[in-house]
Each structure stands twice: as C-alpha cells, then as structure tokens.
Amino acid sequence: MARRQLLIRDRTVGTTPRRSILLQRVGAAVLVACALLPATAPSATTQPATPTGPRVPNELGRIPIVEWHQVVAADGTYKVSRERFRAELRELHARGYVPVNLSELLDKTMDVPAGKTPVLFTFDDASPSQFRYIERNGTLVVDPTSAVGMLLDFIKGHSDWKAKGLFCLLPAAEAGHAFFGDKGIDGQKTEWRFKKVQFLASQGFELCNHTLWHAKLNKYSDAVVQEQLARGAMAIDSAVPGYRVRGLALPYGLWPKNRALAFNGSWYDTQSKRSVRYHHEAVFQVSGGPARSPFDPAFNPKSLPRVPLQGGTTLSTTLDQMDKPGAWARYVSDGNPKTVAQP
C-alpha cells in the first residue's frame, strides 16, 4: 500500500521566510519493514472523532470567513433570524470550528486545538441589530437579543471559544448604522456609540474599515475614495486611540477604479490640518466561498472571499462541502502551533 508522507513546515512569523522540512529518510531496510506494517489511525486523544472518523491534519485546507449583516426577527436579504444565528453558532461548534481573529490569519499565529478548524466571524454595516445596549437599574448592559449579546452568551457556555471576530464599521451611515445606531432611529443614545466600539476592542474582537457611509467605491474619484477610507479609519481611531485597522470590507464587493487605493492612501483633514493615512493588509469580498489557509502559497489577503449568511443561503451547504475531499477541503489543525501539517 502507498506510504503517506507528512510535510511539516516551520511557522516562523515575521520577515524570515518559513522553511520547508521533509521528514528525514531512513535506511532502505527500515522502509521495507514499514511498508509491510498495517496502517494505523491517528490517536483519538489528539484527533477528535467525527461521524466519518478521525480528522486527518491538513493545515493547507480551507477556512470559512462567515459574513453576517442584520440579525433580526426573520430571514431576508442581508438578514438572518435570531434563532438561525444561534443555530449557526451551535452548528459551527458541533462540527469542530473555533473562532480566530484576522490578525491571527495575517500573522500566521493561529493556535487551534488538534482536530479543529478555524473560522473567522465578520459582521458588516454596524447595525443596531448586531449590538444594542439597554439600561438596567442605571447600568448599561449588552442587549441579550443583539448578535453581540447572543455570541457572548454562547461563549460563556462553551469555554473552548473565545471572544474573537471582526466588526466592519460604518462611522457615518444613515438608518441606524453609524457605529451601531443613533438616537431617534433605534432609541440608542449617541454617546453610547463609542462605548460600543471600545467594548468590542476590550473583549478581544477586532475592528475593520467599511468606508465612512457604505460608499460604492467604483463610482467615485480617487480623492473621494481616499476620504472615505481615511475618515473610516480615523473614526475608529477616535473611539479607540491608536487602533491599527488592518482590514477593509468592500461595500457591495465593489473595488475603486484605482484598486491600489483600497490598500494605501491619504486624505487631508482641513479641521485638524493634518494628513490622515490608512493602510489595509486585507480586503474582503462579499462572497466566493471559504478562504485559503494563510500557510497555502496561494493565500492572498488582498482579496479574501467570504461565506455570506442571509435568507436563501445556508451555512450547512458550505460546511458539508468542506467535509469532502477536494478544492474546498477544510483546514484541520495538528495542535502544534509551530508546525504546518499536510497529509
């Protein structure tokens, strides 16, 4: 029977290139002896079993970047029901997925338990359905019916999950989407908006640029594009001083005419009389399926596909496909953050 060879790579972070190391060859007599030995399954203590058997480590496999917009009473365009949102969290957990942050993808520092698969949560548009505060006895608490409230409640009951995910923010949008809502639209007080952004960062979630007010970047001049992106990043910095905005979610998936401006640019703020610069290492599309592993040589953070979740699309369809051999086969951790394993 054919022998399997395990490819292990050193996960060196930074500017030093990662070295590829093949397991050393042994003597010919040993090779013959090994070829005659029966195959053994991976240890159940390191590879949790699934309905189809133990998961073989594959850290070049695919990673779903799931995308939610509004979490409301019923499914619809860019909407999922609260019941469905909870069910999707339960399904991801039951199928062995663990939340990670964008920074861990970009820096190749994911520390995922053996047999598990990373998943990146993204929330677009900063709607109040994602994050609401309510007052109880004069104290602000997270509304348990908002997406953040439901996610934090789920994490409390599942210690293997941490508060990780990416919120792609609109600082000046209409219809309640300016940093999760304005007074007079959804009953939220304006002064609560910065508190929400600060709370997310303090919990371990990350923040992402989504332009100033959800602009269709392909319609505008280079100057307007840079203003949209620079002011979007500047608003996040105003809420969380010194915050490093590393990602951009393209509204409607539309690129500016000059694509380079999605990554780098500047805008002159006449009020403060200073030039505001921005730099995005990752740019998210609206759709496209699960993303490549950051250890895959073809990984391209400048165009990251996502799995949009809304009425008419189901999470199970994508996860079922990822459980099959093929181009979308899922990333499965070997439990060792210092190596990259591929069957």
What's residue 53's pLDDT? 62
b/e per residue 59-86 (b: at least 16 CB within 10 A)? bbbbbbbbbbbbbbeeeeebbbbbebbb
Rounded CA gap, 110 and 294, in Å?
Answer: 10
CB atoms within 10 A of CB 22: 10
What's residue 54's pLDDT? 79
The boundaries of the domain holding residue 110 are 49-342
Residue 301 belongs to domain with CATH number: 3.20.20.370
Is residue 149 situated within a structural domain? yes
Strand 49-50 vs strand 53-54: parallel, antiparallel, or unpaired?
antiparallel
Is residue 13 situated within a structural domain? no
Is residue 177 situated within a structural domain? yes
What's residue 56's pLDDT? 95
CA 108 to chain centre: 13
Total domains, the chain? 1
Rounded CA gap, 288 and 65, in Å?
Answer: 10
Is residue 44 situated within a structural domain? no
Is residue 39 situated within a structural domain? no
DSSP label of 60:
T
Distance between start and end Cα atoms, the chain: 15
Rounded CA gap, 181 and 188, in Å?
Answer: 6
> pLDDT under 70 in the chain at which residues?
1-53, 175, 182-191
Is residue 41 situated within a structural domain? no
Is residue 16 situated within a structural domain? no
Is residue 38 situated within a structural domain? no
The token pair at 67 is 């995308």
Q: Are 332 and 95 in contact (CB under 8 A)?
A: no
Helices 192-203 and 222-239, axial angle in degrees (round to 10):
80
Contacts of 236 (CB under 8 A, 6+ apart): 169, 171, 197, 207, 209, 243, 245
In DSSP notation, 19-37 reads PEEEPPP--HHHHHHHHHS
pLDDT tens for residues 318-340? Answer: 999 999 999 999 999 999 999 99
